[in-house]
Amino acid sequence: MKTPTLSGRPTVAEIDLKSLEFNYRQLQRRVPKGVNLLAVVKADAYGHGAVPVALKLEKLGVEYLGVAIPEEGVELRKGGVKTPILILGGIFGPDVDQIFRFHLTPVIFRKDYLQALSKEAERRRRKVRVHLKVDTGMGRLGVPFNLWPDFLKEVKRSSKIETEAILSHFSMTDEKEGEFTQQQWRAFEEAVAIAREIGISFKYLHMASSAILTRLPSCSGNLVRPGIMLYGSYPSPTFQRLISLKPLMTLKTRIHFLKSVPPGTRISYGGTFTTKRDSLIATLPIGYADGYNLHLSNQGDVLIRGKRAPVVGRVCMDFTIVDVTDIPKVSVGDKVVLIGRQGKERITAEEIAEKINSISYEVLCSIGKRVPRIYKG
């Protein structure tokens, strides 16, 4: 048995920034010459910690960073990030002030916000840089195609609005033949042509996330917006053959409690698991409050001493219980990997996603605030 330490709960997410560098270079290699990267670090860099990830990307020379909401942009600025930051999700009324104070670039698709920004820019006697978004088939944010010319005329009316880019977003990221994707790309090109006709000039055109920049780099414009692949995960399993990436995150803990129980012992809430043999049962100090999903109850595996141990019974808020009967020499304090590698075994976010009918994105960004992120490299 290991000597207990007093350094607190051993549940941590270790983030390997060397792997971030590896993935960044892999993506850089994929994109055509002259195409820059906007690294998407929204949702706390998909659960990896926005500030350390952004600072590393800044060191690597990334052109632009992307977040979902203004607060995320403010957090990066307060953390010392100097790189241009795009607010992908647009602004909300009262955020206009933050755009100026923290030098953020908003994506704009509403006339009223365009006017509010323009007014504030005039008051401050300075220009404000924006990216204009057109909807080409995602059906979410973006000016509807039929209103696009009218929207652009409004942009043109304000001398304080500086259009740095036009963007759109692809929806069929899983589609193999990419027919709808091509259709969206043609619509985007048309939207860009309309903007040129109206006399709007811009530096960037961007539309591709991880999936499209890998599969159809010709539909990329001159700036691409990878998110998930930077973190070493894939938009869907088919992409694993197209590009080799390294996951950044290792989610780990240590065995907190260990006991022998006879056959017929119920485990955890609801008694959904009953031992069938003399068993060794380990309790791990991580639960669904930490982002270890409830649906991994009686489904998940963890790695201990390089072997898989199954989750037994229901995952609790703060604890998860595993059957370690088949792990030789198992003891209290043993290292446990829930996501990541141990010896020859590996558990990916994709594996967990498949078990809980989710996607790797959700698995990664669900890892809770209670889990400290520890950085390597």
Ligand X SMILES: *Cc1c(COP(=O)(O)O)cnc(C)c1O
Please pick, from the candidates 225, 252, 256, 373, the single residue that binds ligand X as defined by CB under 6 A. Answer: 225
Q: Does 293 bind ligand X (CB under 6 A)?
A: no
Q: At what angle do helices 148-157 and 111-123 cross, to 10 degrees?
A: 10
Question: Which string of DSSP letters, residue by residue, matches 60-88?
Answer: TT-SEEEESSHHHHHHHHHTT--S-EEET
Task: Exactly one of 42, 56, 133, 252 is catalytic; name it.
Answer: 42
Catalytic residue among 2, 82, 269, 376: 269
Q: Does 232 bind ligand X (CB under 6 A)?
A: no
Our finding on whether 172 is near ligand X (CB under 6 A) is: no
Among 70, 90, 226, 313, binds ligand X (CB under 6 A): 226
Cα separations (Å) of 179 from 25, 122, 132, 208, 242?
A: 29, 44, 25, 15, 19
42 part of the active site: yes
Only segment of 11-19, 223-231, 301-309, 352-360 that touches ligand X (CB under 6 A): 223-231
- Token pair, residue 344, equals 């020859």
Q: How far is the CB of 235 from ligand X (least distance, A)?
A: 5
Contacts (Cβ under 8 Å, ≥6 apart) of 283: 255, 256, 257, 258, 319, 320, 321
Examine residue 227 and tell whether it contacts ligand X (CB under 6 A).
yes
d(CA 342, CA 301): 12
105 binding ligand X? (CB under 6 A):
no
Q: Which is nearer to ligand X, 169 or 252 (CB)?
A: 169
Torsion angle of the four alpha carbons 8, 13, 17, 22, in this order, in degrees rounded to the nearest 10 = 150
Per-residue mark of binding to ligand X, 31-60 (x: CB under 6 A)? ---------x-x------------------
Q: Is 24 a catalytic residue?
A: no
- Cβ proximity to ligand X: between 225 and 252 the closer is 225
State the Cα–Cα distance between residues 367 and 288, nearest whole angstrom. Answer: 9
Binding-site ranges for ligand X (CB under 6 A): 40, 42, 88, 169, 209-211, 225-228, 235
